[in-house]
Structure formats: structure tokens, C-alpha cells
Amino acid sequence: MKSKLHNRLLACAFSLSASAISTQVHSGAFVHLFEWQWDDIASECENHLAPAGYSAVQVSPPQHSIDGSQWWTRYQPLSYQIQGRSGDRNAFASMVSRCQAVGVDIYVDAVINHMAALDRNFPLVPFGSQDFHECTDDINYGDAWSIQNCDLVGLNDLKTESDYVRGKIADYMNDLIGLGVAGFRIDAAKHMPAADVQNIVSRLNGNPYIFQEVIGAGGEPITPQMYTHIGDVTEFNYTNTIGHYFKGRGPLSELQNIGVWGGWLASEEAVVFVANHDNQRQNTANTITHKDGTNVNQLAHIFTLAWPYGYPKVMSSYDWSDHDQGPPGSGASACNNGWLCEHRQREIANMVGFRNWTDGEPVQNQWTNAANGNQMAFGRGNEGFVVINGDRNQGLQQTLYTGLPEGEYCDVIHADFIEGQCHGASIAVDANGMATFSLNATSASALYTGAMIDGEPGGECVYNSMYLRGTFNTWSSQPMSCNEGLWETTVTFSADGRFKFDAFADWSTNWGDANADGMAGAGEADMLVAAGAYTISFNDASLSYTVLPEDVSGGDVSVNFTCDNGYTYPGQSVYVVGDHPSLGSWSPADAVKLEPNAYPSWSGAITLPEQTSIAWKCLKRDESNPAAGVEWQGGANNAVQTAAGANASASF
């Protein structure tokens, strides 16, 4: 789904009646793939997260931890080695690289407040008794010293004021940054003084994204606001409030002022979520989960992804019957045997596209049903409009002013909008901006200008992704680029070989050609080709394809590349990276540097082979350390057909 890049959000102030909602600094939404294995996450980035527009994945703690089937064993580290039930170090590094290549960042859940509940001796770090606080009493949450110096439920509390301990923690996090990790959730940050956290973060390479788990509770001496100068903070007021209203304990109409209530974090400081891995198990009665049924979890996420407060995280978990239950034994990517894959559900995944498109737009054109406070609607500028019927017994039939331009819109709650085509229900907006909504109980509709059936299409390819697999790459997945309705890529066969087209790089939807007639068929035999270099094109609407020999003796041409909105810090620059050796073959270390000729716009001419289809992206990284400060341009890969004087541009 196409993403709209609004760069005016930092200057935008949201107005809501007489109140003002804080500026939404973070674009997009990320997902927590709780207890997923590294290779499954890599495939998910390529096949589902990048096409849906997710910005990042929060992964479970990767460090060596105690044995046990329970989920919480991951939060009892024994060392800072990268090993555990999600996979080894090589699998972790491969996951990070594959996700980066499609524009999805990796955030690591960093357990740095404590080690496992053992005997204060961890020789693999090494940590000894001198590296831990001595207090083993139960924590008194009315006393700041106790909160930050005593063992949390028996977990050995690290002496984070120690320079040695700080160094070991920073070494671990920098090791992950060196593997390409883009950010960290700092677990139990509340149990460390803010000065300790700040010191550790100051030692990190580059500029990783930081958000900190600080659970605010009335009357406690440690508050979330104490940590906002370091990075973002989890806003538990949000999850508690969403639970209250979407469980039917108050009318949804009261959510019209969410985010501006006293004591809440400012939007630009907050990470928000319907549920996280802790409270969905420990406080299920007050937290929205899949167990609420009747689409309630979906409605709560629709609201969260549509409303411009904080940086939203989607929780994707597995079913459980008791608090301690660990993950299913099978891999998560099949989304069965207990894996829930909430992030793939149409209502949630399509709202990520809605959020990306409406980013920076104010809340306006609000409506609530005076006779039923659980029926509400609001717009995001003139770009999007959402209607939510939270009533569990009563339908909704209403004509509302949307503020949207006239046209036919794909209702992305009930349909998929794939490159200009709506696969499901649509809703018409008339010349006056009015539309009629007809919803069942616990249902919703969402429209946005990026999903206009008769508006500007996002492209002419039917699928959001396409890969070429064959003997030339030992049947791994080479991304193809969509160019005017054709998927294209250039490959070289060193010997006579075979290939197929694969929509999602998982063999679930693939095409071959048993008849060798230039028409691909689902699940047909491999296509045959002689040794040589070829440009291979595939029309995924007509299923026709062409294989054209490349003129390997052709000359080189200069292509002008521009990357807009490339804001950087000192020592960081903008580069071009792509699927051709001249552009580093997707390696940040070998990317080609641009110049800030009209900062924050970066540009430069790069010599490439003539008449070659190349996939590429803009990339930020440190000049001196290619593994630090890495930030990929979001969304799908860009494509350029090289020719003398050709121009290729994109934006962060």
C-alpha cells in the first residue's frame, strides 16, 4: 500500500474543540512479534510488514537467558551473548539485514536493569557480587531508593551507577547496533535512575531510537516524565484507558479528548499500545486482547492507529491459557497452532497504511451519536475519515460529513486496496463531502485519499511485491521492481537454468510455465533459460512475461540521484544503496554517498550500466562507521531504468 510522506508534521498543531492535541512526531506504527523466531521475523518483514507499511519490529530479548519454556525466561539473562530459543547470532544478523533491506527497522527489547534470579555470579559477562546492589527486600513502591536498588521479584539488580557495569551494558547494545539494530526498548527503566540510563545511552554508537518502560502509578515517586529527556516512554495511561472504554465501561465518545488529559506524556514522547506482553497476561480483565471477542481488539487498534497520539505499537502474540505459558513449538509464520498474528488481520494491517497516509493531519469533522455514545467518527484533515461502532448490540446507519474529496473510496476495514484496485467494499463520497455508512455492531469503516478507486493510483502492479527465484540465486528471493505495471529485474545465469516468479517469497503464490509459451501459470513447472544475462519482466495482471538478453558489452551512463528530507546529525550522511554492485548490492558499507547540495536534499551523479532496471533506496549512516546511525528510507524499494541523464528521486 502506498505511503504518503507528510513532512510538515513537526510544525503542525492539532486542534480539538477548545483543546489541542500534541504534535505526532513519529510517523507510522511498529509491531511487537512476541517470541517469534528470527528467521520467521525476516520472512514476515519481506512478505507482510513492508507491504503493509510497518516501520519496525520489536523483537524479544536476544541475549542468553535461563532455560525454561515460560515466556518470562527471556527476561532472566545469564550473559550478553546472542543465543536463545529465537535463534543464534547468525540467524539474528540475517534477520536484521533482511528486514533492513525492505525498510523495516529492528528494535531490541533490552534487559539491562538486572540479571537472572540467581546468586549474583555471572562469569560469562563477567559480573560478580560487587556489580550488584545488596538489597534483596521486597520493593517498597513508595520509596524511590527501594524501587531503584532492590531486586525486582528476585532478579539480581545491577549496580548501574558503576562505570564497569555501564560499560558492559553499552558494549552489548553497541554489538547489536553493529549488527544493524535501529533501536531499543529499555525494559524496567523505572528501576534504574534516569541518570544511569542516560549515561548508558550516551555511550551508544550512532543515534538509535530509544523508548523506555516506565509504568506510572499515582502517588509513586518515580514518574514517566523523569525519563523523557533520554528518549520516548511507554504511556500506560493509554492502554488502561483503551481497556476501560473498549470493554464497554464508558462511552467511546469520551475518547475525543484522549491525549490531552492531565498527567499524560506529550504525544511526541509517548509510545502507545492497546496491550503489551505483560499486561495482556497479568491484567487481562482490564486490557483489550483477542479474548474480548466480537472484533473488540480490532476496533481498539483501529482507533489507536487512526488517532494522532504517540507512536503506536501493535501487539502480535499467541494464545495462552495460563500466565506463564510459553510460545507454541511450531514456527509463527504459518499463523496457526496458537499463533494469533493480529498484525496481519485486515482491520489492523490496513490501518497502518491509513496512519502512514494521514500522518501529520489534524483531527476534525468529529461526530458522536447523541443517543448512543459508543458510535463515533472523526476525520484526519481532508485525507482520511474513520467511523467506529463500538456498540455490541446495535448497528449504525448514518450519513456524515467526511471532508474528503468527491470519489469512490475503498473501505479498508472491509476490503484490500492493491495498487489502484479495491478488492471488497467501497463507499462513495459526494461533491459535498458526505458519505453514508452502514455498519453492523462492533464494526468500523475507514476511508483515505490514498485508497481512492478513481483517484491517483499507487501503481499498476497487482501485487505489493514480487520476487525472482531460480538456479541463478540457488532459489533464494531476488526482489523485482514495479515499473509501469511490469515487475522487472536483471539477472545472470552462469549455466543453463530455471526460474519462477514468487509474489511473497514464501512459495504461497508462485508462477511457472509448463508450456514455455510466455504465459505464466500458478504452480506450473519452472521456466527454462540458457546461460547469459537477461532482463526478465512479468505482468502480474495478464501473467505474461518476457526474457530479454542483456547487451553485456553496453556502455555506462550517469544517473542523477536525489534523496529529499535527509536530516542528519554531524558525522552522518545520506547514501544510495541498491541491488546492483555499483550501489553496494544492498550493503550499507558499500553504499554511494550523496552531497548536501541543497540540505536537507542530497544529490549526486552515479555511473551505472546503461538500460538496466535497478532497485534502490536512500540510506543514512555514519561516515566513519557504516554500521552506526543506519536509517533506511521507508516503504517499498524505488526503481530506475538507467539511461543517460536519467533522474531518480525519493524521500525519507
Residues 408 and 290 in one domain: no
pLDDT surpassing 80 at residue 515: no
Q: Percent of the chain beyond pLDDT 90?
A: 64
- pLDDT, mean of residues 535-547: 79
- pLDDT, mean of residues 63-70: 97
Show which of 451, 479, 513 is a domain's final residue. Answer: 451
Whether 151 is in a domain gets the answer: no
Q: Indicate the pairing of strand 521-522 with strand 510-512.
A: antiparallel
Whether 127 is in a domain gets the answer: no
Show which of 332, 356, 380 is a domain's final residue. Answer: 356
Q: Percent of the chain beyond pLDDT 70?
A: 92
Instruction: Report the number of distinct structural domains present in the chain.
Output: 4
In this structure, of 86-95, 125-134, 577-586, 614-623, the range with the lowest mean pLDDT score is: 577-586
Rounded CA-CA distance 588/583 in Å is: 9
Residues 198 and 294 in one domain: yes
pLDDT at 490: 87
Q: What is the CATH number of the domain that holds 515?
A: 2.60.40.3620
Whether 12 is in a domain gets the answer: no
Residues 264 and 296 in one domain: yes
Rounded CA-CA distance 258/263 in Å is: 12
- The cell numbers describing 370, all together, are 447523541
CA torsion 86-91-96-98 (nearest 10°) is: -120
- The cell numbers describing 479, all together, are 526482489
Give me the phi and psi of 201, to 5 degrees please. Answer: -65, -35
Whether 498 is in a domain gets the answer: yes
Show which of 521, 548, 575 is a domain's final residue. Answer: 548
DSSP state of 142: T
Confidence tier at 4 by pLDDT (50, 70, 90): very low
pLDDT digits (tens, 9 = 90+) for 626-637: 888 888 888 778
Whether 483 is in a domain gets the answer: yes
Classified as helix, coil or strand, 252 is: helix
**CA separation (Å) from 37 to 8, 84, 156?**
38, 9, 27
Q: Which residues are catalytic?
A: 187, 213
Confidence tier at 538 by pLDDT (50, 70, 90): confident
In this structure, of 289-303, 497-511, 512-526, 581-595, the range with the lowest mean pLDDT score is: 512-526
pLDDT at 457: 38
pLDDT surpassing 80 at residue 520: no
pLDDT surpassing 70 at residue 458: no
In this structure, of 184-188, 434-438, 478-482, the range with the lowest mean pLDDT score is: 478-482
Give me the phi and psi of 534, to 5 degrees please. Answer: -140, 150
pLDDT at 340: 95
pLDDT at 611: 75
Residues 172 and 234 in one domain: yes
pLDDT at 257: 85
- pLDDT, mean of residues 177-193: 98
CB 368 within 8 Å of CB 253: yes
Residues 434 and 474 in one domain: no
pLDDT surpassing 60 at residue 554: no
CB 209 within 8 Å of CB 231: yes
- pLDDT, mean of residues 170-180: 98
Give me the phi and psi of 282, to 5 degrees please. Answer: -90, -20
Q: What contacts 24+ positions apart, CB below 8 Å, involve 199-203?
A: 199/166, 200/112, 200/160, 200/166, 200/169, 200/170, 200/173, 201/230, 201/231, 203/166, 203/167, 203/170, 203/174
- pLDDT, mean of residues 123-150: 97
Classified as helix, coil or strand, 46 is: helix
Whether 149 is in a domain gets the answer: no
Confidence tier at 429 by pLDDT (50, 70, 90): very high
CB 425 within 8 Å of CB 435: no
- pLDDT, mean of residues 425-435: 93
pLDDT at 172: 98
pLDDT at 291: 94
pLDDT at 550: 65
pLDDT surpassing 60 at residue 7: no
Helices (H), 143-285: 144-149, 163-178, 194-202, 236-246, 279-282
pLDDT surpassing 60 at residue 517: no
Whether 137 is in a domain gets the answer: no
- pLDDT, mean of residues 586-590: 85
**Half-sphere exposure at residue 382, Cβ-oriented, CA atoms within 13 angstroms:** 7
Confidence tier at 19 by pLDDT (50, 70, 90): very low
List the one residue out of 175, 178, 51, 61 whose CA is nearest residue 103: 51
Residues 528 and 628 in one domain: no
Residues 240 and 201 in one domain: yes
CB 493 within 8 Å of CB 530: yes
Q: What is the CATH number of the domain that holds 276?
A: 3.20.20.80
Confidence tier at 26 by pLDDT (50, 70, 90): low
Q: pTM of whole model > 0.85?
A: no
Residues 175 and 280 in one domain: yes
Residues 290 and 369 in one domain: no
Name residue 473's amino acid: N
DSSP state of 49: I
Classified as helix, coil or strand, 365 is: strand
CA distance between the termini of the chain: 17
Residues 44 and 185 in one domain: yes
Return the top range by mean pLDDT from 139-153, 409-423, 454-468, 520-534: 139-153
pLDDT at 296: 96
- Report the DSSP beta bridge partners of residue 106: 57
Whether 11 is in a domain gets the answer: no
Q: What is the CATH number of the domain that holds 416?
A: 2.60.40.1180
**Half-sphere exposure at residue 270, Cβ-oriented, CA atoms within 13 angstroms:** 26
Rounded CA-CA distance 32/273 in Å is: 10
- The cell numbers describing 477, all together, are 528471493
Residues 58 and 92 in one domain: yes
pLDDT at 16: 30
- pLDDT, mean of residues 171-180: 98
List the one residue out of 110, 284, 100 whose CA is nearest residue 179: 100
Confidence tier at 555 by pLDDT (50, 70, 90): low
CB 500 within 8 Å of CB 467: no
CB 571 within 8 Å of CB 557: no
pLDDT at 181: 97
Give me the phi and psi of 118, to 5 degrees please. Answer: -125, -130
- pLDDT, mean of residues 450-459: 63
If one compares 453 and 353, the residue with the highest pLDDT of the two is: 353
Domain holding 601, by residue range, is 556-651
Q: What is the CATH number of the domain that holds 624?
A: 2.60.40.10
Residues 513 and 578 in one domain: no
Confidence tier at 492 by pLDDT (50, 70, 90): confident
- Report the DSSP beta bridge partners of residue 14: 21
